[in-house]
């Protein structure tokens, strides 16, 4: 798969506004609802015995996350909002021109969404494009409902794919713009971040066995909101749901936390990256050996963060097979017997921060 470049259709791609929602299959809906609603405080727009529709406090569309009961934990859709109804047509035509399977539903795949197309994208991900969506109350001013760790926006997706440059070429043709990446001096790209809206990313490609979904990220207003989520997980004796962080990213400059939901789907809580909306927004390139790229404070990245991710479904609802990354992994080149990281470029010694996990 990764040997062949992805063809670029000679068509206008859809005008993508932003990442809008993810549909996630969970194996125990009650347990997942407890995590996302009772612990994280997402707002329930509506729900049934088999589905829960959730949104953030500043959202005005029907949902940012759909939990659906199912037999195997997986991601069923990474959905983007497009600028006009016609952009759904453009999306369908564009993916069909790439030879991708598509499915169009005038009344949507999930509640609250109208005319929509789902595709099996060239990287194997279930992408979705829609314009029509129910509006609901934007709860931004409803401070009587806020919790101390209030999630206010969906910020981004993060996808795992074996060949990052191959994926990037396709995404850039689709209209995404790279804001930051992680490379090495041999030109191997380990990860890249790309945007449609004015933030560091709407999605990122992380090099690894894929197609898999690395995480979905929600934004808070301030850093103390994220700290509260950790404190609350401690109070609930659920601290083992904290996989990594909190910390400051090098990439994106955001303050972050990674959690694992009851099925192991990864959720990032994220705040305070920077504006990227200018056409010549400078791309920030990080050396894979820079120990501050993933955590600005040099705190170690737990290995599971590199290796684990969520499976994805095809349009029939079957789990997609995972292709192995052939290039070196970021984990391998940065830690362990063959890895190397530095705090200060040129330093020959490894800092204790590197050693403490191995």
- The 250-289 contact track toward its own copies, x by CB under 8 A, reads x--x-x----------------x-xx-xxxxxx-------
Q: Any bridge partners for residue 260, and if so which?
A: 266
Strands of the sheet with 153-161, listed across from one edge: 242-248, 255-260, 266-271, 212-219, 153-161, 203-207, 189-195, 177-183, 284-287
Which parts of 235-254 interact with its own copies (CB under 8 A)? 235-240, 242-243, 246, 248, 250, 253
**Beta carbon nearer to its own copies, 275 or 348:** 275
Two tokens, residue 93:
């035509």
Distance CA 167, CA 108 (A): 27
Looking at beta carbons only, is 97 or 227 nearer to its own copies? Answer: 227
Q: Choose one: 107-115, 185-193, 231-239, 331-339; the region binding its own copies (CB under 8 A).
A: 231-239
Residue 37 makes contact with its own copies by CB under 8 A: no
Closer to its own copies by Cβ: residue 228 or 319: 228
Per CB under 8 A, the list member of 1, 8, 17, 34 interacting with its own copies is: 17
Binding of residue 34 to its own copies (CB under 8 A): no
Position among 75, 233, 267, 309 found at the interface with its own copies (CB under 8 A): 233
Stretch that binds its own copies, among 5-13, 108-116, 171-179, 219-227 (CB under 8 A): 219-227
| Position 60 contacts its own copies (CB under 8 A) | yes
The answer to whether 14 contacts its own copies (rule: CB under 8 A) is: no
- Which residues inside 62-81 make contact with its own copies, applying CB under 8 A? 81
Pick out residues in 289-348 that bind its own copies (CB under 8 A).
291-292, 296-300, 302-304, 343-344
Report 162-201 residues binding its own copies (CB under 8 A): 197-198
Contact call for residues 67 and 58 (beta carbons, < 8 A)? no
Q: How many helices (H) and strands (E) does the chain have?
A: 7, 17
Sign of the torsion angle spanned by Cα atoms 130, 131, 133, 138: positive
- Measuring CA to CA, how many Å separate 296 from each of 58, 176, 247, 248, 307? 28, 26, 8, 5, 21
Interface with its own copies, residue 146, by CB under 8 A: yes
- Which one among 141, 317, 318, 326 touches its own copies, defined by CB under 8 A? 141
The string of DSSP codes covering 32-45 is: HHIIIIIIT-PEEE
Task: Give the whole-angstrom CA distance, residue 272 versus residue 180.
Answer: 15
Tokens of 152: 């206010």
- What is the distance between the alpha carbons of residues 97 and 79, in angstroms, rounded to a whole number? 20
The one among 8, 18, 69, 104 contacting its own copies by CB under 8 A = 18
Phi and psi angles of residue 161, each rounded to the nearest 5 degrees, phi first: -145, 145
Cβ-based nearer residue to its own copies, 260 or 312: 260
> Could you give the angle at the alpha carbon of 87 between the alpha carbons of 123 and 276, nearest 5°?
70
Which positions from 109 through 128 interact with its own copies, judged by CB under 8 A? Answer: none
Question: How are beta strands 51-55 and 65-69 bridged, if at all?
Answer: antiparallel
Check residue 101 for interaction with its own copies (CB under 8 A): no
What is the size of the binding site for its own copies (CB under 8 A)?
Answer: 74
* 127 or 305: CB nearest its own copies: 305
Length of the chain: 358
148 binds its own copies (CB under 8 A): yes
**Binding segment (CB under 8 A) for its own copies, from list 88-96, 107-115, 136-144, 332-340:** 136-144
């Amino acid at each position: 798969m990764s040997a062949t470049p992805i063809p670029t259709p000679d068509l206008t791609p859809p005008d993508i506004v932003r990442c809008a929602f993810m549909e996630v299959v969970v194996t125990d809906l009650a347990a997942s609802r407890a995590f996302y609603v009772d612990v994280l405080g997402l707002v329930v727009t509506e729900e049934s015995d088999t589905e829960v529709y959730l949104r953030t406090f500043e959202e005005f569309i029907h949902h940012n996350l759909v939990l659906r009961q199912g037999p195997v934990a997986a991601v069923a859709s990474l959905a983007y909002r497009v600028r006009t109804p016609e952009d759904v047509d453009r999306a369908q035509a564009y993916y069909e021109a790439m030879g991708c399977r598509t499915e169009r539903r005038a009344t949507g795949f999930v509640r609250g969404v109208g005319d929509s197309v789902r595709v099996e994208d060239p990287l194997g991900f279930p992408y979705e494009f829609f314009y029509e969506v129910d509006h609901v109350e934007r709860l931004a001013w409803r401070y009587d409902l806020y919790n101390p760790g209030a999630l206010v926006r969906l910020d981004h997706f993060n996808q795992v794919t074996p060949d990052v440059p191959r994926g990037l070429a396709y995404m850039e043709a689709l209209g995404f713009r790279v804001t930051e990446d992680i490379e090495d001096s041999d030109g191997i790209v380990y990860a890249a971040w790309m945007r449609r809206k004015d933030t560091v990313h709407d999605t990122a490609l992380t090099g690894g066995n894929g197609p898999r979904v690395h995480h979905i990220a929600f934004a808070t207003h301030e850093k103390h909101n994220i700290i509260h989520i950790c404190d609350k997980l401690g109070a609930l004796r659920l601290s083992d749901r904290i996989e990594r962080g909190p910390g400051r990213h090098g990439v994106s400059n955001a303050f972050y936390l990674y959690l694992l939901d009851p099925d192991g789907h990864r959720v990032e809580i994220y705040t305070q990256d920077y504006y990227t909306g200018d056409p010549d927004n400078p791309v920030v390139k990080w050396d894979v050996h820079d120990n501050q790229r993933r955590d600005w404070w040099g705190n170690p990245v737990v290995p599971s963060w590199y290796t684990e991710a969520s499976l994805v479904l095809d349009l029939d609802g079957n789990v997609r097979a995972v292709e192995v990354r052939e290039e070196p992994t970021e984990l391998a080149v940065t830690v362990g017997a063959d890895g190397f990281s530095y705090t200060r470029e040129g330093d020959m010694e490894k800092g204790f921060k590197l050693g403490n996990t191995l």
